[in-house]
Amino acid sequence: MRFLLRRAMETLLVLLVLSVLVFLLTSLAPGDPAEEILRRGGIQPTAASIAALRAELGLELPLPVRYVRWLSDVVRGDLGLSYVDRSPVTGEILSRLPATLRLAGAAALVAAGLALLASLRPRGLGGRVITAVTVVVASVPPYIVGILLISVVAVGLRALPTGGGSGPGAVVLPALTLGLAGAATLTRLLRADLGQALALPFVRLAAAKGLSARRAVTVHALRVAAPNAITAGGAVLADLVAGAVVVETLFSWPGVGQLAISAIRQRDVPVVQAYVLVIGAATVLLLALADLCLAAADPRVRRP
Amino acid sequence: MRRRAAIVVPAMLLGMVLSGCGGSPETPQDAGLLTLAAPRDLVAGPQDPYFTHQTLRVWEPLVSVDDRLRPVPALATAWESADGGRRWTFTLREGVRFSDGSALNAEAVVANVQRFLRIAPRQSAFFSLDAGMEAAYGQLEEVRADGGRVTFELRRPVADLPGRLAGFYSMIQSPKAFAASGDFAGNPVGTGPYTLTRWTKGQQAELAANPHYYGAAPAYKKIVVKVIPDANARVAALRAGEVDGLIDKGALLSGQVAAVAADSRFRVVRSPSVLTHYLTFNGSREPFSDPRLREAAELAIDRRTIADKLLAGTAKTGAAFLSPVFGELSDPTVAAAYDPAKARALVDAAGRPAAPVTILISSAETGQFPYTDIAEVLRAAFEQAGLPAKVTVAEATKAVMEAGDYDVFLSAYSVPNGDADYLFRRFLRSDAAWNVDRKLRYRSKEFDTLVDQAATETDQAGRRDLYRRLQRLLAADRPMIPLAYQDNPVVTTTEVGGVVQNAAYVIDLGKLTPSG
């Protein structure tokens, strides 16, 4: 119980620091959002309407006042209005979050599936191939991987759509692009840990007793190797959610990442703030969740 | 069995992810359906002053522009001015109905103008109801309906009111489309060949033929316009046959045009646009406070190479301040001189600056145009002329420029309608915000007087001469130089015909036809 409470307090503190950072980074970014908003279409706004818009957006207030106002709205679930079209940002984020979660979930399946496949038979050909492929893919930027997949699979073979949120096949290419990169970390970790675990005396004893190799891995070794993988899994999952930005843009995937990119282009500060806050909070919570899983799996962690 | 599970479960999970493989992507072969893609959402929503972009042809303006920015009839078939440009009367097209079936009349036009005036200034995803709107309606005293005609009474003469109203600022929708706040109450209700039937923000808009359209019924019963912001993804979708064409501002990057045009499945339409790449000089500090060095800078630049090579032939060499899309207003006698030897001589005479000149570009524009490459070419040209130079990429160029911390700024500008006055008045008049805040320090009484004269000169030939004099003045003074006039290439498959784009990137979707 005390462990849970301590972790909760820590998480809350991290979230508060996160909110300050998000607010400061986006508010202190150079450039005048009022001018940018009015400069649509490449035409030059008048000074009077820039001043009027700055007042309307509350940009003239002192920074601490703006932060407190913003935070109290955020806590109540109000992420403000988009500078561009005045629509509520909360609704915008919520309507796009499922697409990002679907993509991140599919990518997580790819990553976890590949990592498990590669680790269960560490010395087999399949394992070696998967490890090699994921490491190669992970060392190439996802943007390049995505373009290659699009030009070969979608444009060349016409086997799958180039992207977009429609159709059941549309998720495959973005999920592969995103998942392959995540798989590399997991695969290497799991393979190394599993190799060590298999060498532990009690696992070898189990094998000596006549236990099948598969059973020795799944029942005994995987448990010993799990803690590191859980920690890495949390980080990889957080990476997938955040890393969706590039992949979503490339594949016209209607998620929050694509929203963030277009918001950054248009200097739509409330949307950018909301995106960074939501992704930041998701990362903090995922890592906290991984910690809890770790504590459940490994009693040593729970000791103060 | 248990040992099998270890391998079967992950394999199944993977299989689930890959299960979509069998389904072939949707093919837009459906007769009467056209699928297009654009870099941005051409629908902005009910809080926007216009709801949709003019290109979607859901609403129509009173006046539109052609490929030479000349005002051409849309909902108004004719116009005339009286009282030296103080009174303008527009005759409305007869037999026009809104998409809800109600008739277009002069009262509806008046209601639309009054709504614009009431809600301005108001930001928009397309053109803010701001400076351009002030140019269109700033002198308006009264607007009234006379039967099938609308009369604008102005406080001061405006020589080119139809051009200033052209496009967004004279959008006409049914007054019933608007709520009391000026926002839209529901979907837009216009007079164009299409109506907006479905819209998924940031993803796609669906249009259906408007049964009440006064003109010939459009060939495509339904049009889907997808939003694909990434340029490579757009071309991939075109190549994969998922879309029939790419439209709107920046549909193709300059570097993509040649490859797409070489593919026999596609037809690229290149038409001049209102966008011009300008170099703006910081005239408030050395070295470019010295007119000789501004001249040297201009002579050092090989504008033809920039237009042909770096912009891959999607632009024409810049010369006169007004681009050729302004038709006869553009001065053909202003030439783009390139003389590196003379540039060097000028620098030697004026004295080499000790500190390097800063070439500023905006990071927001580097994604759209090859500005990093152009800036490097400018840097090399300046250095050859004896002006040491460096390139700065900034995100907030406004702050940098207002601090005076630049020497040359490369950026693209356009006009909201067919309004030539706008460029001179908003950028270079002595009191223009651009001129003053961005430290151009261009002060010319002659220029200011000519700008004011031209704006009120109703005689066509007289006005043309005044604008040409202005351009010759700018060519000599050089507060800004036009580097290149940008085209806007768009592309469709060869199965789509009738693609005509005006200078403001507007394609008449109602005129597109399936061609053999």
Which span out of A177-181, B171-175, B272-276, B452-456 was modeled with the highest average pLDDT? B171-175
Please tell me the predicted confidence (pLDDT) of residue A13: 92
Instruction: Indicate yes or no: CB of A30 within 8 angstroms of CB of B228.
Output: no
Question: Could you give the C-alpha distances from A300 to A3, A294, A303, in angstroms and in order?
Answer: 12, 9, 6
Contacts of B21 in chain A (CB under 8 A): 159-160, 169, 172
Q: At what angle do helices A172-198 and A89-120 cross, to 10 degrees?
A: 40
Q: What is the dihedral of CA B56, B58, B59, B61, to 10 degrees?
A: 30
- Closest partner residue to B3 (CB to CB) among A49, A168, A215 is A215
Partners of residue B80 on adjacent β-strands: B89
For residue B245, what pLDDT band results from cuts at 50, 70 and 90?
A: very high
Contact call for residues B90 and B150 (beta carbons, < 8 A): yes
pLDDT-derived band at A153, boundaries 50, 70, 90: confident
Residue B465 pLDDT exceeds 70: yes
Q: Which positions in chain A touch B395 (Cβ < 8 Å)?
A: 29-31
Q: What is the pLDDT of residue A122?
A: 65
What are the chain B neighbours of A39 within 8 Å (beta carbons)? 128
Give the closest-approach CA distance of A211 to chain B in angstroms.
Answer: 11
SS (H, E, C) B271-319: EEEEEEEEEEECCCCCCCCCHHHHHHHHHHCCHHHHHHHHCCCCEEECC
Angle at B141 between CA B135 and CA B143, to 5 degrees: 95
Residue A40 is predicted with a pLDDT of: 64
Q: Per-residue pLDDT averaged across A178-183, rounded?
A: 82
Q: Is the pLDDT of residue B56 over 50?
A: yes
Contact A44 B7 (CB under 8 A): no
> Would you tell me the crossing angle of helices B231-239 and B254-262 to the nearest 10 degrees?
10
Higher confidence at residue A225 or residue B387? Answer: B387
- For position B138, what pLDDT does the model report? 87
User: Which positions in chain A touch B367 (Cβ < 8 Å)?
Assistant: 265
pLDDT at B12 over 80: no
User: Shortest Cα distance from A98 to chain B (angstroms)?
Assistant: 15
Distance CA A191, CA A199 (A): 13
When pLDDT is cut at 50, 70 and 90, the band that residue B7 belongs to is: very low
Please tell me the predicted confidence (pLDDT) of residue B482.
96
Section B141-157 average pLDDT: 93
pLDDT value for A303: 64
Token pair in block for residue B158: 């405006």
State residue A166's pLDDT score: 66
In sign, the C-alpha dihedral spanning B85, B88, B93, B97 is positive
Q: Which residue of B has its CA nearest to A56?
A: B122
Residue B159 per-residue DSSP state: T
Question: Among A297-301, B242-246, B313-317, which is the least confidently predicted range?
Answer: A297-301
- Peptide linkage before B188 cis (omega within 30 of 0): no
If pLDDT is split at 50, 70 and 90, which confidence band does B504 have?
Answer: confident
- If pLDDT is split at 50, 70 and 90, which confidence band does B502 have? confident
Q: What is the pLDDT of residues A182-208, one digit of tens each?
A: 788 788 788 778 777 777 888 778 778
Confidence band, pLDDT 50/70/90 cuts, at residue B75: very high
Q: What is the pTM of this model?
A: 0.83
CB contact under 8 A, B233 and A252: yes
Contact B490, B261 (CB under 8 A): no
Q: What is the mean pLDDT of residues B272-291?
A: 93
Measured CA angle at A228 (ends A222, A230), to 5 deg: 80
Mean confidence (pLDDT) of chain B:
89
According to DSSP H, which parts of A29-88 are helical? 33-38, 47-57, 63-75
Q: For Cα atoms B206, B210, B211, give the angle at the middle one, nearest 5 degrees.
A: 140
- Which is more confidently placed, B148 or A196? B148
Residue B27: pLDDT band (50, 70, 90) is very low
The pLDDT of residue B416 = 67
Per the CB < 8 A criterion, the answer to whether B281 and B291 are in contact is: no
pLDDT in tens, B339-360: 999 999 999 999 888 899 999 9
User: Do the strands B87-92 and B149-154 form a parallel or antiparallel pair, or are they unpaired?
Assistant: antiparallel
Q: What is the pLDDT of residues A76-120, one digit of tens each?
A: 989 888 877 778 899 989 998 888 888 888 888 888 888 888 777
In which band, very low, low, confident or very high, does the pLDDT at B206 lie, cut at 50, 70 and 90? very high
List, as one string, the DSSP characters of B429-449: STT-HHHHHTT-----HHHHH
Q: Which of A26, A35, A44 to mutate to test binding with chain B, by most B CBs within 10 Å of its CB?
A: A44
Over 50: is that where the pLDDT of B28 sits?
A: no
Mutate to test the interface with A, among B14, B50, B123 (most CBs of A within 10 A): B123
Q: How confident is the model at residue A156 (pLDDT cuts 50, 70, 90)?
A: confident
Q: What is the mean pLDDT of residues A147-162?
A: 83
Contact at 8 Å (CB) between B492 and B326? no
Residue B33 region by backbone torsions, left for phi larger than 0, else alpha for psi between -120 and 50, else beta:
beta
**What's the pLDDT band for A170 if we cut at 50, 70, 90?**
confident
Which tens digit of pLDDT belongs to each residue from A131-151? 888 888 878 887 888 888 888
Do the Cβ atoms of B426 and B432 come closer than 8 Å? yes
| Token pair 């000596």: residue | A208
Terminus-to-terminus CA distance in chain B, angstroms? 61
* Helix (H), strand (E), coil (C) string for A204-243: HHHHHCCCCHHHHHHHHHHHHHHHHHHHHHHHHHHHHHHH
Burial class (CB in 10 A: 0-12, 13-18, 19+), A166: middle
- Interface residue A85 vs chain B (CB under 8 A): yes
Distances from the Cα of B420 to the Cαs of B69, B136, B433, B506, in angstroms? Answer: 9, 12, 17, 19
Distances (CA, A) of A79 to A11, A26, A98, A265, B229: 21, 14, 18, 19, 24
Distances (CA, A) of A259 to A19, A52, A237, B41, B395: 20, 27, 20, 12, 19
State phi, psi for B148 to the nearest 5 degrees: -90, 20
A85, A95, A164 member nearest B45 (Cβ): A85
The predicted structure's pLDDT at residue A304: 56
Please report the pLDDT score of residue B189 as a whole number: 96
Query: Nearest-CA distance from B348 to chain A in Å?
Result: 37
The mean pLDDT value for A35-62 works out to 77
By C-alpha distance, the chain A residue nearest B240 is A155
Strand segments, DSSP code E, in A157-217 are: none
pLDDT of B17:
42
Q: Cβ neighbours of residue B490 under 8 Å, at least 6 residues apart?
A: B245, B246, B247, B248, B251, B252, B268, B269, B499, B501, B507
For B406-448, what is each residue's pLDDT tens digit?
999 999 988 767 788 888 988 999 998 889 989 999 999 999 9
Q: Nearest by CB to A161, from B25, B127, B364: name it.
A: B25
- H or E segment and range at residue A184: helix A172-198
Residue B364 is nearest to which of A168, A258, A265, comparing CB atoms?
A265
From B19, which residue of chain A is nearest by alpha-carbon distance?
A169
pLDDT higher than threshold 70 for residue B402: yes
The pLDDT confidence band at residue B229, using thresholds 50, 70 and 90, is: confident
pLDDT, residue B195, reads: 97
Residue A172 in contact with partner chain B when CB distance is under 8 A: yes
- Six token digits for residue B446: 């002659």
**Is it the case that residue B4 has pLDDT exceeding 50?**
no
- Angstroms from B384 CA to nearest CA on chain A: 32
Q: CB–CB of B78/B64 below 8 Å?
A: no
| pLDDT at residue number A105 | 87
Inter-chain CB proximity B3 and A117 less than 8 Å: no
The encoded tokens of residue B72 equal 């051409």
Q: B124, A40: Cβ pair inside 8 Å?
A: yes
Facing residue for A38 by CB, picked from B17, B130, B230? B130
ipTM above 0.90, yes or no: no
Q: Report A:204-243 residues touching B (Cβ under 8 A).
A: 212, 214-215, 217-218
**Quick check: B123 and A83 CB within 8 A?**
yes
- Which among B131, B227, B398 has the least Cβ separation from residue A43? B131
Between B315 and B132, residue with greater pLDDT: B315
Is the model's pLDDT at B16 over the cut of 60?
no
Region B239-258 average pLDDT = 92
Distance, CA of B237 to CA of B228 (rounded, Å):
9
Please report which confidence band the pLDDT of residue B30 belongs to, taking 50, 70 and 90 as the band edges.
Answer: low
Residue A107: helix, strand or coil by DSSP?
A: helix
Phi, psi torsion values for B7, nearest 5 degrees:
-100, -25
Rounded to whole angstroms, the Cα distance separating A114 from A191 reads 11
Average pLDDT in chain A: 82
Distance, in Å, from the CA atom of A186 to the CA atom of A174, rounded to the nearest integer, reads 19
- Nearest residue in B to A151, CA atom: B236
